[in-house]
Amino acid sequence: MRKKLTGFVFVALFAILSINIMRMPGIFDETAPAYNEATRHYLEQSVEETGAVNVIAAVLTDYRAFDTLGETIVLFTAIVAVVSILRPFAKKKDPVGDRNG
C-alpha cells in the first residue's frame, strides 16, 4: 500500500510540474528570454576578445574561467575523498613514513 501512495505522490508532483512547464515560455529562437545581450556578446565579440574560434571553449576557459577552476577543485576533492576511504592503511609497497596520506 505504501508503495502505491508514494507512487501517487510522485505522479502528482510530475503533474504539477508539467502544468507549470506548459505555462513557461517555449520559444526557441533569437527572441527567447534567455537569448539576451550576454549571448549575443559571446557569439559576436568572443573571437576578437579571446582569439578562440570555439565559443564554448572561450566561455569555459576565459569568461567563466573561475567556474572551471572550481571544477578542477571538485575533481581534486573527489580524489582525496575516495583515497581517504579506500586506502586506509599504509601499504607495504608505499614508504611507511607516509604521514601525509
Partner 1 sequence: MDDLIVKTVVRIIIPFVQLFGIYIILHGHVSPGGGFAGGTLIGTSFILYTLVFGIGPAKKKFSHRMSEFAESGGIILYLAIGVVGMVVAGSFLTNAEAGFPLGEAGSLLSGGMIPLLMIGIGIKVASTMVTLFHTLIEEETS
Partner 2 sequence: MTMIEQLPVINLLALLAMALLVPLLRGRSFKTTLILGLCVLLGVLLSSILILYHVHTEGAFYYHFGGHSPVFGIELLINEFSALFTMLIIALVTLVYVYSTGDATEGIGENEYGRYYILLFILLFSMFGIIYTNDLFNTYVFMEILSITTCSIISIKRKKENYTSAFRYVMLNEIGSLSYLFGVALLYMITGYTNIELVHGAIQQSWPLYSANVVTAVAFMVVGIGFKAAIFPFHIWLPDAHAAAPNSSSAILSAIVVKVYLLILVKVIYSVYGVTIMTALNMPLIIGLIAAVGMVMGSVFAIAQKDIKRMLGYSSVAQIGYIVMGISLMSVAGLSAAFFHIVSHGLMKAALFLAAGIIIYDRKIRRVNLFDGLGFQFPVSMFVFGIAALGMIGIPITTGFIAKFNLAFATLDAGRGIFIVIIVISGLLNALYYMPVLISAFLRDNPEKQRHITFEKAPRTMLVPVVVLGILILALGIYPDLIWGLLESAVLSLQ
Partner 3 sequence: MSFFQSLLDHINYLGAVALFVIGLFTVVTHGNLIKRIMGINIMGTGIFLFFVAIGNVTGGLPPIIDPAEEGGTFINPLPSVLILTGIVVVVSITVYSLSLVVRIYETYGTTDQDEIAKMIREENDND
Interacting residue ranges for partner 3, rule: CB under 8 A: 3, 6-7, 10, 13-14, 17-18, 21-22, 24, 26-30, 32, 34-35, 38-39, 42-43, 46-47, 53-56, 59-60, 64, 67-68, 70-71, 74-75, 77-78, 81-82, 85-86
57 near partner 2 (CB under 8 A): no
The C-alpha cell that represents 78 in the structure block = 573527489
Report the alpha-carbon distance of residue 82 to residue 88 in Å, rounded: 10
Report the alpha-carbon distance of residue 83 to residue 76 in Å, rounded: 11
Interacting residue with partner 2 among 38, 51, 54, 57 (CB under 8 A): 38
Q: How far is CA 65 from the centre of its chain?
A: 14
Q: Provide, rounded to whole angstroms, the least separation between the CB of residue 76 and partner 2.
A: 8
